[in-house]
Amino acid sequence: MAARWRAELPRRLGTVGCVARDARGQLAAATSTGGSGQCYPGRVGDSPIIGAGTYCTPAVGVSMTGTGERIMVLLSAKRLCDLVADGRVADTAARMVIAELDRIDGAAGLIALTADGTFVEQRNTPYMASARRS
């Protein structure tokens, strides 16, 4: 389903996200916005809405990019954290969140990091680059 959105977006946008873990296993997550392209005047995207594009608990931190309106509707980053809190492993939770977004034509990608150092990357679009350092 997300193919329709991708076909309408011939260029890549500039969202930057980060998840980090310190030596004690404490997590942090942050997400910048990709800018105002394809947006209505006055629109607030998913990046500044806690729970939509960014969320962090003591167990997992998440940063997302993609179709902001779809990510906002599902509060996708918080959804991933809630799934982990309910006992899902982070990779399974990430796959579930991306599948939920795919069902509503939400092109998206995410990075997540758990307190034990497990890194997860999921997306339904080829446009999300990522890097990691330990």
* 15 catalytic residue (yes or no): yes
- In order of 67, 74, 78, 115, 127, the CA distances from 85 in angstroms are 25, 17, 10, 12, 29
For 103, the token pair is 């069902």
- In order of 17, 22, 26, 93, the CA distances from 14 in angstroms are 10, 26, 27, 25
Residue in 15, 31, 33, 54 annotated catalytic: 15
Residues marked active site are found at 15
